[in-house]
């Protein structure tokens, strides 16, 4: 039982990072109905920017988190302006945007390779002191606390933003019905740009957290694994639903850790897709998803 609870804690801290990342996918999907496949590359850039901040510049963790948020947020604005907005202006379909997002991902990864090289990097030891706390037989590391704490703060902030602020309500209005939103005076392109800022900022921080969780995992290519898991998470939870993406991310994180504990580590990556397969068979709209109908 203790082992199980211990692994549950480990799984939740891993899953919370997946969740943070997946929220980015789902928000963009909600507003634009496209999958932004450049999102994994943003995660990698976030981790690499944080590497520079922590290793080369030697800044402290709080400042590194804040700067990464801002840097990848701005990157999101550039992404939208360069890759997606021109397509919207020409009324291109979602498939065109999907292809463009793959292109944008390739460009970002190549640029990152130029700047940071292709070798995996690690954050300086001691970024988070190796310290452990015992709670009722469970061991929780300071790292896990920091990660969970960061994700919780960001998610609560996101929730408040989406329900209490003018821009948050505007994002949800656009996600539900862009034409109606425009009749209420909501400027579509500005809302989309802000959504890219927001999602990329969260994705960048997710990259930083992954870099801390797995020593020596930071590289321009690190996004690939998370991209697939993030997609699995949002389909699991229901496309376009923030809570669904969070639950999906957590489920995949916990599932992975449990499989490693009770089965074999070689099945680890099968979890995301096994779960995905199950959900699609049993409930094709995802756990919290609504039916999307093509009929008018």
Partner 1 sequence: MLAVERLSRNFGGLRALDDVSLAVRDGEILGLIGPNGAGKTTLFNVVTGFLRPTAGRVRFRGEEITRWPADRVTARGVARTFQNIRLFREMPAVENVVVGGHVRTRATLLDALAHTRTHRDEESAGRVRARALLALVGLDGRETTPAGALAYGDQRRLEIARALATRPALLLLDEPAAGMNAAETEALMQLIRRLRDELGLTILLIEHDMKLVMGVCDRVAVLNFGRKIAEGSPEEVRRDPTVIEAYLGRRAERRAPVAVRAGEVVLAVEHLRAGYARGDVLHGVSLEVRAGQIATLIGANGAGKSTLLRTISGLLRPRAGQIRLGHVAIGGAAPDRIVGLGVAHVPEGRQILARLTVEENLRAGAYARRDRDIERDLATLSERFPVLRERRAQPAGTLSGGEQQMLAIARGLMARPRLLMLDEPSLGLAPQFVDRVFEVVLGVQADGVPILLVEQNAQLALETAHWGYVLESGRIATQGSADRLLGDAAVQRAYLG
Interface residues toward partner 1, by CB under 8 A: 163, 166, 169-170, 172-173, 176-177, 179-188, 296
Helix or strand holding residue 132 (H, E): strand 132-135
By beta-carbon proximity to partner 1, the closer residue of 90 and 166 is 166
> C-beta of 292: minimal distance to partner 1 in Å?
13
Helix or strand holding residue 134 (H, E): strand 132-135
> C-beta of 87: minimal distance to partner 1 in Å?
18
Give the residue ranges of DSSP H helices in the chain.
Answer: 2-32, 39-51, 61-79, 85-89, 94-116, 142-164, 166-176, 178-183, 188-213, 223-237, 242-262, 270-282
Burial 162-186 (b: 16+ CB within 10 A, else e): beeeeebbbbbbbbeebeebeeeeb
By beta-carbon proximity to partner 1, the closer residue of 47 and 191 is 191
> C-beta of 88: minimal distance to partner 1 in Å?
13
The secondary structure of 214-281 as a DSSP string is STT-BSTTTHHHHHHHHHHHHHHH-TT-HHHHHHHHHHHHHHHHHHHHHS-GGGTTHHHHHHHHHHHH
Q: Tokens for 86? A: 């021109």
Q: How far apart are CA 165 and CA 167, in angstroms?
A: 5
Tokens 């993030």 belong to residue: 230
Residue 62 has φ and ψ, to the nearest 5°, of: -55, -45
Helix or strand holding residue 137 (H, E): none
> C-beta of 243: minimal distance to partner 1 in Å?
12
> C-beta of 176: minimal distance to partner 1 in Å?
5
By beta-carbon proximity to partner 1, the closer residue of 148 and 169 is 169
Count of residues making up the chain: 296
- Please choose, from the candidates 26, 18, 8, the residue with its C-alpha nearest in 3D space to the C-alpha of residue 255: 8
By beta-carbon proximity to partner 1, the closer residue of 175 and 198 is 175
By beta-carbon proximity to partner 1, the closer residue of 126 and 185 is 185
> C-beta of 177: minimal distance to partner 1 in Å?
6
Q: How far apart are CA 18 and CA 30, in angstroms?
A: 18
By beta-carbon proximity to partner 1, the closer residue of 110 and 163 is 163
By beta-carbon proximity to partner 1, the closer residue of 131 and 290 is 290
> C-beta of 55: minimal distance to partner 1 in Å?
44
By beta-carbon proximity to partner 1, the closer residue of 181 and 245 is 181
> C-beta of 178: minimal distance to partner 1 in Å?
10
């Amino acid at each position: 039982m203790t082992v199980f609870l211990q692994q549950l804690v480990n799984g939740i801290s891993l899953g919370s990072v997946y969740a943070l990342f997946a929220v980015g996918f789902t928000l963009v999907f909600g507003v634009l109905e496209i999958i932004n496949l450049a999102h994994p590359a943003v995660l990698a850039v976030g981790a690499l920017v944080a590497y520079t901040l922590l290793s080369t510049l030697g800044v402290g963790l709080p400042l590194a988190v804040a700067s990464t948020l801002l840097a990848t947020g701005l990157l999101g604005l550039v992404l939208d302006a360069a890759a997606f907005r021109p397509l919207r202006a020409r009324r291109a379909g979602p498939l065109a945007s999907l292809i463009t997002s793959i292109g944008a991902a390739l460009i970002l990864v190549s640029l990152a390779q130029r700047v940071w090289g292709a070798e995996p990097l690690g954050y300086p030891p001691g970024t988070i002191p190796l310290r452990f706390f015992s709670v009722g037989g469970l061991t929780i590391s300071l790292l896990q606390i920091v990660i969970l704490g960061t994700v919780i703060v960001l998610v609560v902030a996101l929730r408040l933003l989406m329900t209490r602020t003018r821009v948050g309500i505007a994002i949800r209005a656009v996600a539900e019905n862009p034409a109606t939103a425009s009749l209420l005076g909501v400027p579509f392109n500005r809302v989309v740009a802000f959504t890219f800022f927001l999602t990329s900022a969260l994705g960048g921080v997710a990259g930083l957290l992954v870099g801390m969780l797995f020593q020596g995992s930071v590289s321009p290519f690190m996004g690939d694994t998370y991209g697939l898991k993030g997609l699995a998470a949002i389909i699991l939870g229901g496309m376009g639903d923030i809570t669904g993406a969070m639950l999906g991310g957590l489920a995949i994180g916990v599932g992975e850790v449990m499989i490693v504990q009770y089965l074999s580590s070689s099945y680890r990556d099968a979890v995301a897709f096994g779960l995905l397969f199950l959900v699609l068979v049993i409930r094709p709209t995802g756990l919290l998803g609504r039916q999307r109908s093509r009929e008018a």
